[in-house]
């Protein structure tokens, strides 16, 4: 099979990485096994006291950083469509001054999944990363605290003692250093960035981008050998949307819209179902069927599966999302 590998340079706290989740979910949904997506942890803020983003006034002063970071998250949310909390996270304190713990936590999750696969649900490391992003952005969880990290790991089935041991290991520190070196090799300073690889050829896409842009890059790099599957999954109908949500457990309006190629109506926020033509009627039907439910989440809304016999992964995901 022709396959494109995508390395995503990211940090779990970066709002534009959170905003890229719909793009990556749409790529996985539309391309299937033709894509292999991996994450490289970039460690956006090593120490908030020495970090300096002059444009956003983030870095140096902890209280000002927490306030301005939330202001930036709210502004970004209106663009990328993934929700954020209504109040600042207060993520940084004198004791918690870095986003490195979240980066190392994802690396630990990948190691755990490799070493103890029978302990965790399928695709546990990727689910763990989403929960880190979601709880940071929408639930104001201090995810740079080790206890919060371990509690999040337990949700995807990781045994707390085993995960803590891996997280605190020298192996994780070495792998994080290797991730940073890989970022330096490709001169990556903007998160997210995307390195596309196909049969020895590479293409770099820097910064937040759209599904359409990455789709064109994949087709160009692969000489059109890799393209979205034409098997009916792209059709916007009740059955396809239901299956999309049931497979993932939870989904936001922009994730559904991106997967099904829906354009946002001019002047509408990316956060709402009403922003996408054709989507409100489908979601109303699904909610009335009592197979899909809807709940507030941060400054937006989340849809989740309530189908009888839903797998444990969905139930845990919904529980973490605060919707059951």
Model confidence pLDDT, tens digit, residues 223-280: 999 999 999 999 999 999 999 999 888 999 999 999 999 989 887 788 989 999 999 9
Query: Average pLDDT in the 17-32 region?
Result: 97
What one-character DSSP code corresponds to residue 4? Answer: E
C-alpha distance from residue 116 to each of 5, 109, 110, 111, 241 (Å)? 25, 10, 10, 8, 33
Phi-psi region of 79 (alpha: psi -120 to 50; beta: other; left: phi over 0): alpha
d(C-alpha 196, C-alpha 38), whole Å:
10
- Determine what percent of the chain is predicted with pLDDT higher than 70: 94
H-type alpha helices, the chain: 15-19, 21-31, 62-80, 100-115, 124-138, 146-155, 160-167, 170-185, 211-221, 238-248, 253-259, 279-288, 312-321
Domains of the chain: 4-185 (3.40.30.10), 238-321 (1.10.10)
pLDDT in tens, 264-322: 988 778 898 999 999 999 999 999 998 899 999 999 999 998 865 544 444 544 554 44
Counting every residue, how long is the chain? 324
C-alpha distance across the termini of the chain, in Å: 40
Contact 181, 187 (CB under 8 A): no
The predicted pLDDT at position 319 comes to 54
Query: Average pLDDT in the 2-31 region?
Result: 97
- 155 versus 313: the higher-pLDDT residue is 155
Contact 190, 206 (CB under 8 A): yes
Contact 98, 48 (CB under 8 A): yes
- Residue 122 banded pLDDT, cuts 50, 70, 90: confident
Tell me: pLDDT of 165 over 70.
Answer: yes
b (16+ CB within 10 A) / e for 263-282: ebeeeebbbbbebbeebeeb
Q: Tokens at residue 185, please?
A: 């090799």
- Give all strands of the β-sheet with 4-10 in edge-to-edge order: 35-41, 4-10, 193-198, 201-206
**Taking the CA of residue 98 as centre, how many other CA atoms within 13 Å lie in the half-sphere pointing to its CB?**
11
Query: Average pLDDT in the 59-79 region?
Result: 96
Q: Work out the number of other CB atoms within 10 angstroms of the CB of residue 295.
A: 14
Query: Average pLDDT in the 28-48 region?
Result: 97
Tell me the pTM: 0.93
The predicted pLDDT at position 321 comes to 46
The predicted pLDDT at position 315 comes to 53
The predicted pLDDT at position 267 comes to 73
The predicted pLDDT at position 323 comes to 47
Mean confidence (pLDDT) of the chain: 92
The predicted pLDDT at position 98 comes to 98
The predicted pLDDT at position 270 comes to 83
Contact 42, 108 (CB under 8 A): no
Place of tokens 């709002």: 15
Identify which of 257, 242, 251 has the alpha carbon closest to the alpha carbon of residue 290: 242
């Amino acid at each position: 099979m022709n396959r494109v590998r995508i390395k995503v340079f990211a940090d779990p706290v970066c709002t534009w990485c959170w905003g890229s989740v719909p793009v990556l979910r749409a790529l996985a949904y539309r391309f299937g096994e033709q894509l292999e997506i991996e994450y490289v942890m970039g460690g956006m803020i090593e120490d908030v006291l020495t970090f300096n983003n002059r444009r956003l006034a983030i870095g140096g002063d902890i209280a000002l950083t927490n306030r301005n970071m939330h202001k930036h998250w709210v502004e970004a949310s209106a663009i990328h469509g993934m929700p954020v909390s209504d109040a600042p996270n207060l993520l940084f304190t004198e004791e918690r001054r870095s986003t490195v713990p979240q980066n190392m936590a994802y690396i630990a999750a990948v190691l755990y999944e490799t070493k103890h696969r029978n302990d965790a649900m399928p695709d546990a490391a990727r689910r763990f990363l989403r929960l880190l992003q979601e709880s940071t952005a929408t639930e104001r969880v201090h995810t740079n605290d080790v206890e919060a990290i371990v509690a999040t790991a337990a949700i995807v089935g990781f045994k707390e003692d085993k995960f803590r041991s891996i997280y605190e290991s020298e192996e994780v520190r070495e792998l994080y250093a290797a991730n940073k070196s890989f970022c330096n090799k490709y001169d990556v300073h903007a998160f997210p960035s995307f390195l596309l690889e196909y049969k020895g050829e590479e293409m770099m896409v820097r910064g937040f981008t759209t599904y359409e842009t990455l789709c064109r890059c994949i087709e160009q790099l692969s000489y059109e050998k890799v393209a979205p599957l034409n098997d009916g999954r792209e059709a916007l109908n009740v059955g396809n949307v239901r299956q999309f949500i049931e497979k993932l457990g939870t989904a936001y309006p922009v994730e559904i819209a991106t997967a099904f190629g829906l354009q946002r109506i001019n002047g509408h926020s990316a956060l709402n179902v009403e922003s996408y033509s054709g989507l409100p009627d489908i979601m109303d039907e699904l909610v009335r069927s009592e197979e899909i439910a809807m709940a507030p989440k941060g400054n937006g809304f989340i849809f989740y599966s309530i189908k009888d016999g839903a797998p444990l992964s969905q139930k845990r995901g919904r529980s973490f999302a605060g919707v059951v």
